[in-house]
Amino acid sequence: MDAASPSVAAFWAARRQESPDLPEEVPLAWAFGATPEHADDLLALVLAGVKDGTASSLWDYEATAEPLPEVGEHSVILDGADQPSAVIVTTDIRTVPFDQVDAEHARAEGEGDRSLAYWRASHERYWRQHSADPRGWAPDMPVVCERFRLLWPTRVEP
């Protein structure tokens, strides 16, 4: 695994000063989506408390040799400019066929009208356009459904 960038390492050191119970090792840093705009839009949903789920193609993990997420794993979330902006912890992982992703997971992803129909249409389009695996999309493709909790920044209710 690549070493953390200096900005991610400094960000993590600051988070550990605030919360010494966080792991010492700098976690993986990544952004949601495939474009800077998408990363910013999805990060905004996380920060607003609307998004606490994400989905990934198992085929993409296999194609890129990226490690699968694990329950209890921390992640630094980057914005569209690749700047560290949030810390999440994975709370649940399920791998299911695309056509068996349920309405609760679609709601947890927080996008569009939060319906399963919206989720299916937007994710099919996403994987057809941005998949790292040449298979792209299929109705029975394995989807890694991840749930997470935002640890930093903490949300302040209005």
Task: Classify residue 34: in a domain, yes or no.
Answer: yes
Q: Which of 1, 3, 6 is nearest to 82 (CA)?
A: 6
In a domain, 101, yes or no: yes
Indicate the pLDDT class of residue 156, thresholds 50, 70 and 90.
low
What is the rounded average pLDDT for all residues in the chain? 95
- Read off the pTM: 0.94
Banded pLDDT at 62 (limits 50, 70, 90): very high
> CATH number of the domain that 103 lies in?
3.10.400.10
| pLDDT confidence of residue 1 | 43
Percent of the chain with pLDDT over 70: 96
Average pLDDT over residues 99-117: 98
Whether residue 1 lies inside any domain: the answer is: no
Classified as helix, coil or strand, 152 is strand
Answer yes or no: is pLDDT of 125 > 90.
yes
Residue 158 lies in a domain: no
Give CA–CA dist 129/88, Å, rounded. 27
